[in-house]
Structure 1
């Protein structure tokens, strides 16, 4: 999983206010409900030391996603009197939360982006007599997205309506367009729903590369909900899967581990590699436990398991921070990726591994 969407979080030195808030619109008087939730979080932030200008910036952002229908939430970050990042959550947070601290609390936002699978969704409607393939029309709706975040931030949308008499010819042209679109967006899957006959015509005319990615689904196919196209079906298709890109990284790690290639395992080894900017991708079996802490300095790669280690490197006044916040900051700063891999797919020592950009030379200290 690439973390470039988090780069705005680290343009300010902090401290940061991190807010996770249920902003669902499917309740009675949603604005009142959101205001009440925010009031409780505002008081909590104030007690933690957030000043009035910072709270005012947050308050302006709360509920600004009113155009997003249904259940969802917001992840809002601010620092030094400025809004740093306002992210949509495809699902409401398990609980509203607010934290004011040295580093932003980004891991809950990351968790709502996982497994970050790129896809194309396609609905094919046929309007005409059931036995007549020469009258009527075929309407196609297609949309790109990255599941599950695309539920509330849908991607590019395509609309086509053609006479059914020309559908065989039009489907071939559309197939090449979809193939190019899938390549451009690195789509793992083309999820297809709608009319069986018209859909089959299109699928048979797709180039082989994208045809092999087709997943047919049933169920209702509304196209104007304000949410992701085929959102209910996408959950059943992708839940429990890894993105193909992440699976490739896991396979590379397995190969390197077997052959003694540039890879590291265990928290201590991964932290040491992050200090050197050596990590290409950090692999976790699960996000770090909330009680796990690391020592940090002002620079993102200044992190360690002990205060003494940072002091010996010349870092003045190290701070103890939640491990997930320190790790994410280091990953974003060094353009490293994050892969959460189930333990039954790949068990890691201490639940942590790292793909390295280069191998240590013999004799290099850990």
Structure 2
């Protein structure tokens, strides 16, 4: 899971205002309206010195309905001048809260990224399809692009019993040709903009024909979802639940694949590292493909600090580490999770969250590497990072 959309936060002027709020409609939240929750959060931010203009902008954004009818959350991050990040989170926070300070509180935003998926919804019938691009986790629920594909063959009705077989054959031939036209359009769109998933729904016969006609690059990410369609009569709530289930399964598969890479790297003694010191070392060398954070250790990482310079990869356990990199007089202490995420974003690394017991993590943190050489810290031999006192054998 990549964090490219958080890059606008890098180099932005402090202070930062971060809001993580339950954005559920009142009937789903079982309590007050969103703006009532916001007013309570705003009072705390005003007490902490957040600028009124920034708070007004956040209030304006939250006042616009996001279109979701089920429980969900919202993460908003603003710098000194205004809102920089605004994302929807599938799960609302246990408690709506705001933080104002010298650095953004990034965990909520990264959680939002962990849930973000880009998918193409293909709703088919025997004449064509509607193609809808959706970024699950974007600020607004409305789709970004919708396109209609018409097959061009309109003889789609079989003749009644007793009439000529020729009419039935023509109808079936039209279905096939229309399905091929839809499949060709889907193939082309997926080559141009690679989604995480292609969700296929609609007329049962048309779905089967399109499924058979798409190319391998589409088939590898295609999931059939029942209950949708182009015409009237779709039970929207039930269909939305099926889509949400398909997205949740994809997130689980994505997370499992990253954790498998991490386990494999540790097992080989190369390709992955763990412990805070070793992860800091590989982050500042730009070696990290995926940062792995243990959810149970997030509070501990919030309490620990790391030292960072003006650039994201200028990272160390203490001031001496940065002095060795030639960074003098510009070192700042950050909460460990902020510094780690900042460095990950700075090298286009992804982030995966691991539940307690999923993988072996020292200090609640690990990393999957892009590359390694003889000076890379290894978990199979004594570490060459600043964490020299911890010797650890992974078996």
TM range (shorter): 0.7 to 0.9
In structure 2, the CA distance between the partners of 1:23 and 1:46, relative to structure 1 (3 Å rule), is same
Q: Does the Cα contact within 8 Å between 2:275 and 2:362 map onto a contact in 1? A: yes
SS at match of 1:233: helix
Q: Does the Cα contact within 8 Å between 1:16 and 1:77 map onto a contact in 2? A: yes
Alignment of 1:93-112 (within 5 A): 93-112=93-112
Paired position in structure 2 for 1:261: 270
Distance 2:128 2:209 in 1: 13
Paired position in structure 2 for 1:124: 124
Question: How big is the shift at 1:232?
Answer: 1.8
With the length of structure 1 as denominator, give the TM-score of the two structures. 0.79
Q: Which of 336, 342, 348 is equivalent to 1:329? A: 342
**Structure 1: any 5+ residue segments left out of the alignment?**
126-136
Does 1:46 find its partner at 2:46? yes
Distance 1:89 1:254 in 2: 28
Question: How big is the shift at 1:42?
Answer: 1.8
Paired position in structure 1 for 2:243: 234
Paired position in structure 1 for 2:207: 199
Paired position in structure 2 for 1:270: 279
SS at match of 1:187: coil
Paired position in structure 1 for 2:33: 33
Q: Which of 360, 363, 366 is equivalent to 1:347? A: 360
Paired position in structure 1 for 2:313: 301
**Structure 2: any 5+ residue segments left out of the alignment?**
157-170, 378-383, 386-395
Distance 2:66 2:119 in 1: 24
Higher mean displacement: 354-363 or 161-170: 354-363
Higher mean displacement: 196-205 or 294-303: 294-303
Does 1:173 find its partner at 2:172? no
SS at match of 1:340: strand
Distance 1:363 1:201 in 2: 51
SS at match of 2:33: helix
- CA RMSD after TM alignment: 3.7
Does 1:210 find its partner at 2:218? yes
SS at match of 1:338: strand
In structure 2, the CA distance between the partners of 1:298 and 1:91, relative to structure 1 (3 Å rule), is same
Q: Does the Cα contact within 8 Å between 2:282 and 2:376 map onto a contact in 1? A: no
Question: How big is the shift at 1:100?
Answer: 0.5
Question: How big is the shift at 1:328?
Answer: 1.5
Q: Does the Cα contact within 8 Å between 2:271 and 2:370 map onto a contact in 1? A: yes
SS at match of 1:219: coil
SS at match of 1:94: coil
